[in-house]
Amino acid sequence: MFCRHCGYTVRDEDKYCNECGGKLSAPENGAITAGDRSINTQNSTITNSSIHTGDNYNNSNNINPDILNLRREFVRLPWSAEGKLGESSGFLTLGTIGSIASIVGIVLPYLTSFKYIPHFLFPVLALSVMMLFLPTVLKRHRFSPFLGLKNLEYGKDGKIYLTRISCDCPWCGTEMKLRMVGPKEDRSQLLICLRNPGMHRILFDPTVMPDIEK
């Protein structure tokens, strides 16, 4: 089954969603829960009825993006109301300096009389390397998921932005949010309806979004 808050796939015995932490609740025996163009039943019998069960994202990937009213929201940051993380050149500079300094710090105890345990420098090195390669990767792909609920985007001005993507559900008109869904080894970017997250889903193609021009 799916979490009714974020659409993440959960087990029937789970009480809370492993993705968003929301409380899971199953319908009581005999209860029927319905959303636009969909119906879910548990321990219920429906007779003499014609039921349309909605559209699953597997057969909705040919939807024209123009009807979705795709929206990009810039996440407000303490240093930028426009979601601007910084210049790509700044990331490259910090990544280079951090990487060199970390490597020197790790090697120094083995080459000199300075004695300390350099283990704390390994996370710094990892972060510095990530900052070093991030602008190059983003410049090529323009878009990358970040922490599941937000995205990193590369603007034409050479800056890196933190954004959220949403749109209108083509089936019920409710807002859809972009989420990373699935097991860690095979996660997909899906636009998920807030009203009917289990059925109203669309695979997201970031290339349909216009470039950031600021």
The 10s digit of each residue's pLDDT in 123-159 is 999 999 999 999 999 999 999 999 877 999 999 999 9
List the single range of 10-24, 88-102, 104-118, 179-193 with lowest mean pLDDT: 10-24
d(CA 74, CA 72): 7
Instruction: Name the DSSP letter for residue 162.
Output: E
Q: How confident is the model at residue 38 (pLDDT cuts 50, 70, 90)?
A: very low
Torsion, Cα of 141, 145, 150, 153 (10° steps): -10
pTM of the complete model: 0.68
Does pLDDT of 100 surpass 80?
Answer: yes
Q: How confident is the model at residue 161 (pLDDT cuts 50, 70, 90)?
A: very high
The tokens for 54 are 């909605």
- The arithmetic mean of pLDDT across residues 27-44, rounded, is 47
Quick check: 212 and 153 in contact, CB under 8 A?
yes
Residue 72, number of CB atoms within 10 A of its CB: 15
Q: Which residue has the tokens 């283990």?
A: 119
Distances (CA, A) of 100 to 94, 113, 116: 10, 20, 18
Task: In the chain, count H helices and then E strands.
Answer: 2, 10
Side chain identity at residue 46, one-letter code: I
71 contacts: CB under 8 Å, gap ≥ 6: 165, 166, 167
* Cα angle, residue 144 at apex, residues 8 and 96 outer, rounded to 5°: 135
Q: Which pLDDT score is estimated for 62?
A: 67
- The arithmetic mean of pLDDT across residues 6-18, rounded, is 76
Angle between helix 88-111 and helix 121-141 axes, rounded to 10 deg: 150
In 3D space, the residue among 209, 201, 166, 151 whose CA is nearest the CA of residue 181 turns out to be 201
> Left if phi > 0, otherwise alpha if psi is -120 to 50, otherwise beta: which for 77?
beta
Domain boundaries, the chain: 89-141
Quick check: 190 and 201 in contact, CB under 8 A?
yes
